[in-house]
Amino acid sequence: MRIALGIEYDGTDFYGWQRLKSDASVQMAVETALSRVAAHPVEISCAGRTDAGVHGRCQVVHFDTGAQRDMRSWVLGACSNLPDTVAVLWAQPVAAEFHARYAARSRRYRYHILNRPVRAALDARYVTWERLPLDAERMHEAAQALLGEHDFSAFRALSCQAVHPRRTVLSVSVRREGEQLFVEVEANAFLHHMVRNIVGSLLLIGRGERPIPWMAELLAGCDRQVAGPTAPASGLTFLGPRYPSHWGLPAEVSMSGENR
């Protein structure tokens, strides 16, 4: 049987999603918990790997098992064996053809900025602090240059192992809610550090240090060394992937309307 799970995690204390030989990873924590529930070794595949310090709102994974457990037992059993910073939100059987990574049509990220003179205390693990005033409208306007299919080399980490730098951004927005700014990006896929590098450049525009057209110029120039710095990991959350509705997954990870 193939089972899909939705997973939420605080990435602060992990060295990223991917399983490592020695350092703590979210993948290892989840596989260890599921292996205890299944009473056999379990390996999982995810929709999108996240870096050290990056959080997950609804990461989707799948695994195969011959163990007979109801879906509630997978959720509760896994949660009871996971650290407090990781939780399984739901579990459901899926077709054998389903693959958490390859079946996804898009991925969504949100970057959270606290924009006030004083640093965060309660939310310090989940935001990036910017003390200088930011103009969210300028940032939003500049970000629209990213829409569509482009070569995103200007926002690609040197360590990126992707075969090519072309990605398609489906939507991008910057909005303010009081002292909070949210940058949300949905794309078919992302390059290593792509969202954090985009945010690093948008911050310069928001502070008035660069003009609005600069974002389009960066994109066209394909030069990472010219773009802004990589924004901190703490503000970034992987909201989750989106799948065609025929897989029957929960609404939060399913496409809707004409995109089905």
Nearest-angstrom CA–CA distance, 63 and 65: 7
In angstroms, what CA-CA distances link 71 with 59, 75, 79, 101, 120?
A: 17, 6, 12, 21, 38
CA contacts within 13 A on the Cβ side of 140: 10
Catalytic residue among 51, 123, 135, 151: 51
Residues 136 and 113: beta-carbon distance below 8 Å:
no
Q: Torsion angle, CA of 23/26/32/37, rounded to 10 degrees?
A: 170
Nearest-angstrom CA–CA distance, 134 and 205: 8
Residue 77 tokens read as: 């059993």
In angstroms, what CA-CA distances link 13 with 25, 26, 85?
A: 9, 9, 9
Q: Could you confirm whether 51 is annotated as catalytic?
A: yes
| Block residue for tokens 């005033």 | 133
Q: Which residues are catalytic?
A: 51
